[in-house]
């Protein structure tokens, strides 16, 4: 029995290349293509493919939200995340949304085919790059985790990374500017960072702010 696949990606050339690769296989059939998250959600609900290959960065609705909404209504649907991003927070967000696997766009054809087949059989699959990112996070090689910060510290860090001053952050969070400075020093100490630029890079890497 052939595995029916829905491709969701806003780059037409990539979708065509993926279709060509997948349809050369005797056990895979591409049943439809979507160029944004909204269409992917609608088509998946209508066509009920075995696997949805879901890009993360798409117009109208991103792949994370599309996956979350799709699986809220049809939890048996299988989603394979496809992305240019190999950062830990993107992988974790897609897996938390319900995706069964994660493959980067730099992965080879063999890895993509393995992923589609594994997902179709109900297994979980991470490409080598994604698996390495998760392994480094578990080993602690990626630096101190944002989870080590308190909720208020995370709020302050996100606003600092957006370029807000201590006064602006204090007004936003209804705390004194001096308290903001104390939080900033504590954040830097916990994370082992020394400048606002380093804090900004960290916040982006951890998904506390978007780029």
CATH code, domain carrying 188: 1.10.10.10
> 117 and 178 share a domain?
no
Q: What is the mean pLDDT of residues 120-129?
A: 92
> 158 and 90 share a domain?
no
> 135 and 34 share a domain?
yes
Query: What's the number of domains the chain is made of?
Result: 2
Within a domain: 210? no
Q: How confident is the model at residue 140 (pLDDT cuts 50, 70, 90)?
A: low
Q: Are 201 and 195 in contact (CB under 8 A)?
A: no
Q: What is the pLDDT of residues 64-95, one digit of tens each?
A: 999 999 999 999 999 999 998 888 878 888 98
Instruction: Say whether pTM exceeds 0.85.
Output: no
The last residue of one of the domains, among 113, 139, 165, is 139
Phi and psi dihedrals of 200, rounded to 5?
-65, -45
Q: Are 94 and 81 in contact (CB under 8 A)?
A: yes
CB neighbourhood size of 99 (10 A): 26
Q: What is the pLDDT of residues 143-199, one digit of tens each?
A: 445 557 788 888 999 899 888 999 999 999 999 999 999 999 988 888 888 888 888
pLDDT at 85 (0 to 100): 85
Within a domain: 92? yes
Collapsed DSSP state (helix, strand, coil) of residue 140: coil
The last residue of one of the domains, among 89, 106, 139, is 139
- What residues does 65 pair with on adjacent strands? none
Residues 6+ apart with CB under 8 A from 112: 18, 21, 22, 103
> 107 and 9 share a domain?
yes
Max distance between CA atoms of the chain, in angstroms, equals: 66
> 111 and 61 share a domain?
yes
Within a domain: 211? no
142 has a pLDDT exceeding 50: no
């Amino acid at each position: 029995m052939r595995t029916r696949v829905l491709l969701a990606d806003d780059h037409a050339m990539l979708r065509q290349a993926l279709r060509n690769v997948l349809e050369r296989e005797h056990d895979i059939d591409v049943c439809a293509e979507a160029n944004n998250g909204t269409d992917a959600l609608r088509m998946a609900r209508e066509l009920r493919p075995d696997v949805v290959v879901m890009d993360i960065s798409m117009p109208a609705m991103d792949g994370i939200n599309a996956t979350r909404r799709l699986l809220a209504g049809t939890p048996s649907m299988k989603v394979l995340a496809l992305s240019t991003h190999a950062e830990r927070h993107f992988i974790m967000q897609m897996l938390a949304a319900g995706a069964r696997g994660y493959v980067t766009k730099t992965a080879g054809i063999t890895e993509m085919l393995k992923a589609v087949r594994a997902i179709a059989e109900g297994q979980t699959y991470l490409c080598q790059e994604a698996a390495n990112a998760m392994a480094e996070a578990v080993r602690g090689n990626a630096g101190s985790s944002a989870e080590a910060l308190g909720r208020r510290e995370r709020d302050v860090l996100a606003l600092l990374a957006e370029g807000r001053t201590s006064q602006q952050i204090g007004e936003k969070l209804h705390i004194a500017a001096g308290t903001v400075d104390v939080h900033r020093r504590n954040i830097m100490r916990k994370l082992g960072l020394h400048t606002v630029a380093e804090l900004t890079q960290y916040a982006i890497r951890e998904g506390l702010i978007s780029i």
